[in-house]
Structure 1
Amino acid sequence: MAGADANGAQVKSAVRTVELLEFFAGRPGMHTLAAVQEAVGYPKSSLYMLLRTLVELGWVETDATGTRYGIGVRALLVGTSYIDGDEVVAAARTTLDRLSDDTTETVHLARLDGTSVVYLATRQSQHHLRPFTRVGRRLPAHSTALGKALLATWDDEQVRRLLPESLPAVTERTITDRERLIEELGTVREQGYAVDREENTLGLRCFAVAIPYRTPARDALSCSVPAARLTPGHEQLIKDALFDARDRLTLATRRL
């Protein structure tokens, strides 16, 4: 029994370590011990010891006073190794370059992770007015074209099991009703692409297609463009370029 208790304690410590790192990853900047404790709910004494251990190992950093904590450089190294070792990211590089040239807009490769999408690769727009994006950024699937393109490869019951009935609003245009979202996913399946109509960022529209190298799909390509610059002709060019990119990347990932 003692051995079982020790193993249980080790597993609990591992879970808390991961939860702490996810807390810092989702909240950039530095945080006081009290703020961290309020968010995660661990006893302050054990939380402090765990934070000190993570600081010593480089997973967590402190400010000059030693009283505020944030994500450490080792997390970046692990995240980079994930990107560097991912076969889809490697296969998509040429496709992303061409998609960027064809559209002159910001383009992304992203992966579905639970109820979110995570950016794996991006190419910045050639225009002065452009959205800010970064690899590793996590956004709600229901408010993004990327997420909707991927959710459309699931059946309706799978979507109902994944998402709550009421969805959080990111902007005033976000779809917040699950059934309404499911209706839109039906349209996405019919037309082959998804649209974010300023649902994640006001003033920004986005178009996305899923990459069907597996079913349901887990990766998608997108193109983001400021609404002020989007003309009917440019919109059609973006859609055509995305379909072409989807076909090329599907071919490149056929053995994965």
Structure 2
Amino acid sequence: MPDQEPPTGGVREVKSAARTVELLEVLAARGDRPARLRELALELGVPRSSMYALLQTLIDRGWVRTDTTGSLYGIGIHALLTGTSYLDSDPRVRAVRPFLDEASDALGETLHLARLDGTDVVYLATRESHAYLRTFSRVGRRLPAHAGALGKALLAQDPARLPAGPLEQLTPRTHTTREALAADLAEVRERGYAVDREESVLGITGFGFALRCDDPPVDAISCSVPLARLTEEHERRIVAVMREIRTKIEAVAVRASGAAQWR
């Protein structure tokens, strides 16, 4: 009998694969907090015996690591290798890196490239500030899109991507209502860039610029600076340099003919 599609017309989820991905995502989200077998089994709703077998398989392949007692589990080194491969193979990241260097030389502040992923932005590249007082940043960091300059720059280009439900509050200045966020995004569209004044991190202001290489844009660049170092003149300088950098990136980051069109 010929194969038939599932009633929904889509492809059936492979439960073992889905469970593996969910486990890796849970471990990755815990950061430096290793998990015990019981915790993982409860969180994913999996029998301990099944979870133990899955963990041992992933340990053998380098995706999960365990401590010397064999009772604590964390994300393994192969996750890093895969993430590095993603960055190295992404043409947009490669195209933007030299311009982040240029902006870093010009401004001396912290620079970011991030991509919209659902309701979050994920940092794909960073350049640290030259000053002792600097913002915290790292590749792979996730941040709610509504709470920072990078995310607001992207959300403003497509209001349909506004997150549904309650908005997470990171600081007392984070937008927590859709009305307040929508009003801010209208200003972003009029201004041409987003501003985050202590909405994601207290004491830090960010300036975000969507890269208009896609429709709607999915990538953005930003400059973050401590309030203690932000003057009106410095802010004008940041905006001018970042606008110029965005224009340069957009001129070279057009999709190459024949390149894979990722989605």
TM over 0.5: yes
TM-aligned CA distance change 1:204 to 1:33, over 3 Å? same
What does 1:60-99 align with in structure 2 at a 5 Å threshold?
60-99=64-103
Rounded to whole Å, the distance in 1 between the matches of 2:207 and 2:234 is 12
Question: Is 1:142 the equivalent of 2:168?
Answer: no
TM-aligned CA distance change 1:38 to 1:170, over 3 Å? farther
Rounded to whole Å, the distance in 2 between the matches of 1:255 and 1:111 is 16
SS at match of 1:241: helix
TM-aligned CA distance change 1:228 to 1:55, over 3 Å? same
Kindly provide the amino acid, as one letter, of the partner of residue 54 in structure 2. Answer: L
Q: CA deviation at 1:9?
A: 10
Question: Is 1:115 the equivalent of 2:119?
Answer: yes
Question: Is 1:59 the equivalent of 2:68?
Answer: no
- For 2:171, the equivalent position in structure 1 comes to 171
Q: CA deviation at 1:182?
A: 1.4
- For 1:132, the equivalent position in structure 2 comes to 136
User: Over aligned residues, Cα RMSD in angstroms?
Assistant: 1.8
- For 1:244, the equivalent position in structure 2 comes to 244
What does 1:98-109 align with in structure 2 at a 5 Å threshold?
98-109=102-113
- For 2:186, the equivalent position in structure 1 comes to 186
- For 2:35, the equivalent position in structure 1 comes to 31
Rounded to whole Å, the distance in 2 between the matches of 1:255 and 1:75 is 28
Residue of 36, 39, 47 corresponding to 1:43: 47
Q: CA deviation at 1:216?
A: 0.5
Equivalenced residue count is: 248
Percentage of matched positions with identical amino acids? 52
Rounded to whole Å, the distance in 1 between the matches of 2:232 and 2:46 is 53
Structure with greater helix percent? 1
Rounded to whole Å, the distance in 2 between the matches of 1:202 and 1:9 is 45
Q: CA deviation at 1:26?
A: 1.3
Q: CA deviation at 1:35?
A: 2.0
Q: CA deviation at 1:10?
A: 8.3
Kept in 2, the 8 Å contact 1:211–1:250? The answer is yes
Further displaced range: 116-125 or 9-18? 9-18
Question: Is 1:214 the equivalent of 2:217?
Answer: no
Q: Which runs of 5+ in 1 are unaligned?
A: none
Residue of 16, 26, 29 corresponding to 1:13: 16
Deviations along 1:140-177, whole A, 9 cap, x unmatched?
A: 111110000011110x3x134xx123201111111111
Question: Is 1:198 the equivalent of 2:194?
Answer: no
Rounded to whole Å, the distance in 1 between the matches of 2:176 and 2:43 is 25
Rounded to whole Å, the distance in 2 between the matches of 1:74 and 1:9 is 27
SS at match of 2:216: coil
Q: CA deviation at 1:32?
A: 1.1
SS at match of 1:174: coil
SS at match of 1:223: strand
TM-score by length of 1: 0.92
Q: Which runs of 5+ in 2 are unaligned?
A: 5-10, 257-263
Rounded to whole Å, the distance in 1 between the matches of 2:101 and 2:144 is 26
